């Protein structure tokens, strides 16, 4: 009988320890909510049409299944340009007005890393360029530093004639 009790006690303690380890290893997805200011010096902007002077920021509200982003750019003349974008992860195309009467269709899928600390967005875009269909893809990898103060977005866009890569480094306000 003592042997059975010892075996049961050992089995229960192993089960509890295993359960606690498994519970600890389940992490919540990182939350990107907040106001983030672009650090131009730490970012790699390539040929992107982002002014090297002024201030660029994004205010993010993370919901499931979407991100609402208010993008703001203050140019070197002090003029503020702002836009709000809702990124849905439902896999349904969204039509965006990009100016001059042109429209762009975007479909985005979301994937989390195993530890839930890195989000990857895969995008497909289609547009009409003077009667010719144009399609391109994009990938964004979002990661917040361990201290929660730095957001890095690695953006790679594959266009018909080239691939553009940006590394955007934001500091939380």
List the beta bridge partners of residue 73: 56, 81
Q: Is residue 23 over pLDDT 50?
A: no
Q: Two tokens at 33?
A: 């909510």
What superfamily would CATH give domain 28-172?
Calycin beta-barrel core domain (2.40.128.20)
Residue 57, judged by CB atoms within 10 A of its CB (0-12, 13-18, 19+), counts as middle
pLDDT at 49: 67
Each residue's pLDDT tens digit, 65-100: 789 999 998 887 888 889 998 988 877 888 887 777
What was the pLDDT predicted at 51?
A: 65
Please write the tens of the pLDDT for every residue from 134-156. 899 999 999 999 999 999 999 99
Residue 144 CA, chain-centre distance (Å), reads 10
Question: What's residue 25's pLDDT?
Answer: 46
Rounded Cα–Cα distance for residues 111 and 4 (Å): 47
- Judged against a pLDDT cut of 80, whether residue 126 lies above it is answered with yes
Distance from C-alpha of 12 to C-alpha of 21, rounded to nearest angstrom: 14
- For the chain, the domains span 28-172
């Amino acid at each position: 009988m003592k042997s059975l009790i010892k075996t049961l006690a050992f089995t229960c303690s192993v089960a509890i320890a295993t359960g606690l380890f498994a519970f600890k290893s389940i992490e919540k997805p990182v939350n990107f909510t907040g106001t983030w200011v672009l650090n131009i010096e730490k970012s790699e902007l390539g040929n992107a049409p982002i002014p090297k002077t002024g201030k660029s920021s994004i205010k993010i509200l993370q919901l499931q299944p979407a991100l609402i982003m208010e993008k703001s750019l203050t140019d070197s003349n002090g003029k503020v340009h702002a836009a709000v974008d809702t990124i849905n992860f439902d896999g349904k195309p969204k039509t965006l007005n990009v100016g001059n009467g042109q429209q762009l269709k975007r479909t985005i899928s979301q994937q989390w890393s195993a530890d839930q600390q890195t989000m990857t967005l895969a995008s497909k875009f289609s547009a009409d360029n003077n009667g010719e269909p144009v399609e391109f893809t994009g990938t964004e990898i979002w990661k917040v530093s361990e201290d929660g103060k730095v957001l890095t977005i690695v953006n790679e866009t594959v266009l018909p004639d080239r691939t553009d890569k940006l590394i955007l480094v934001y500091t939380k306000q």
